[in-house]
């Protein structure tokens, strides 16, 4: 398959599923996970902060890390890749499905999930937190009035609404994503190293049912060998080339 054939397949496909990772937000200035960490957190691995044992050991430090990322994502802006995916959803309508591993809320701010298709956040999001007793999710206050650890309206301490290492993904979101990728004629896998399952297994569902999978990533990934076609470019330019 070449770029023209990949473009034609995406254009003619009715059912399209998309998986995104941190690379889609890189052009919004948000660091990815497996690139070098910058600043104060360089000495930590995300796995040492994003896990139930880390939170049980030191909730204040874990909340300090998440409060910093929360501030960063609110000052970031969706980039062309986010906007092109929201446009693709408006073109495809109800048969468009976006599953993101990102927790930065930029897809939603670009309009994804509001253009007739569906969007799920497989790993949660930074903009909300979960009551540790009831499990209810509440939006966080603005960063400049956020006190950590936050307390829910019910008076209980809240934890970040993020899927941590060793935890299960939201079942309904994952099930819907697996169904959408199995049904997809074309799936796009954009800006993910393919290192974390079950999200990384979604592309295999499309292939198993005879669909086409196209990767957009400047680098080779653990999923590249499965791909029908790879666009070796950043997300915004790769999507623009496919949607021309
Ligand atoms: P990674 O940091 O593992 O991978 C980012 C991918 O984006 C890499 O393959 C880069 O080559 C690629 N990339 C970098 N810049 C890009 C750009 N401008 N355009 C397109 N691609 C670019 O991030 P994820 O694959 O998203 O889990 O990581 C998956 C999960 O691991 C995350 O959701 C997080 C982490 O632990 C949880 O938080 C549960």
Global pTM reads 0.96
The answer to whether the CB of 23 is under 6 A from ligand 1 is: yes
User: What does the pLDDT look like over 39-85, one tens digit per residue?
Assistant: 555 667 777 888 999 999 999 999 999 999 999 999 999 999 999 99
* Number of other residues whose CB lies within 10 A of the CB of residue 132: 15
Quick check: 19 pLDDT over 60?
yes
Average pLDDT over all residues of the chain:
95
**25 CA distance to ligand 1 middle (Å):** 9
Q: Which of 193, 224, 225, 232 to mutate to test the pocket of ligand 1 (most atoms within 8 A of CB)?
A: 193
**151 CA distance to ligand 1 middle (Å):** 31
User: What does the pLDDT look like over 102-125, one tens digit per residue?
Assistant: 999 999 999 999 999 999 999 999
> What is the structure's pLDDT at 227?
98
User: What does the pLDDT look like over 185-237, one tens digit per residue?
Assistant: 999 999 999 989 999 999 999 999 999 999 999 999 999 999 999 999 999 99
Examine the residue annotation and report whether 82 is marked as an active-site residue of this protein. no
Quick check: 38 pLDDT over 70?
no
Alpha-carbon distances of 53 from 37, 61, 123, 167, 209, rounded to whole Å: 21, 12, 18, 11, 39
What is the atom index within ligand 1 of the atom nearest the CA of 20?
A: 26
> What is the structure's pLDDT at 221?
96
* Active-site position among 11, 40, 107, 123: 123
The answer to whether the CB of 186 is under 6 A from ligand 1 is: no
**99 CA distance to ligand 1 middle (Å):** 14
Nearest to 95 by CA among 76, 75, 116, 74: 116
> What is the structure's pLDDT at 31?
86
User: How far apart are the C-alpha atoms of 32 and 48, rounded to whole Å?
Assistant: 16
> What is the structure's pLDDT at 220?
96
């Amino acid at each position: 398959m070449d770029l023209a054939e990949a473009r034609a397949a995406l254009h003619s496909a009715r059912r399209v599923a998309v998986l995104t990772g941190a690379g889609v937000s890189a052009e919004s200035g948000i660091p990815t996970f497996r690139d070098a960490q910058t600043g104060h957190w360089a000495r930590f691995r995300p796995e040492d902060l994003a896990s139930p044992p880390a939170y049980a050991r030191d909730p204040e430090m874990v909340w300090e890390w998440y409060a910093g990322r929360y501030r960063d994502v609110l000052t970031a802006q969706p980039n062309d890749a986010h906007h092109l995916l929201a446009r693709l959803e408006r073109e495809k309508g109800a048969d468009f499905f976006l599953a993101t591993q990102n927790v930065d809320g930029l897809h939603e701010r670009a309009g994804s999930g509001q253009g007739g298709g569906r969007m799920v956040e497989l790993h949660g999001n930074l903009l909300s937190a979960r009551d540790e007793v009831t499990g209810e999710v509440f939006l966080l206050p603005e960063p400049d009035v956020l006190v950590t650890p936050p307390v829910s309206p019910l008076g209980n301490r809240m934890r970040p609404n993020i899927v941590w290492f060793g935890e299960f993904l939201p079942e309904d979101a994952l099930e819907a994503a697996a169904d959408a990728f199995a049904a997809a004629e074309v799936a796009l896998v954009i800006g993910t190293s393919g290192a974390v399952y079950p999200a990384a297994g979604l592309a295999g569902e499309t292939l198993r049912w005879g669909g086409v999978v196209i990767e957009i990533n400047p680098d080779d990934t653990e999923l590249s060998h499965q791909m029908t076609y790879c666009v070796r470019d950043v997300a915004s330019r790769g999507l623009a080339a496919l949607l021309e």
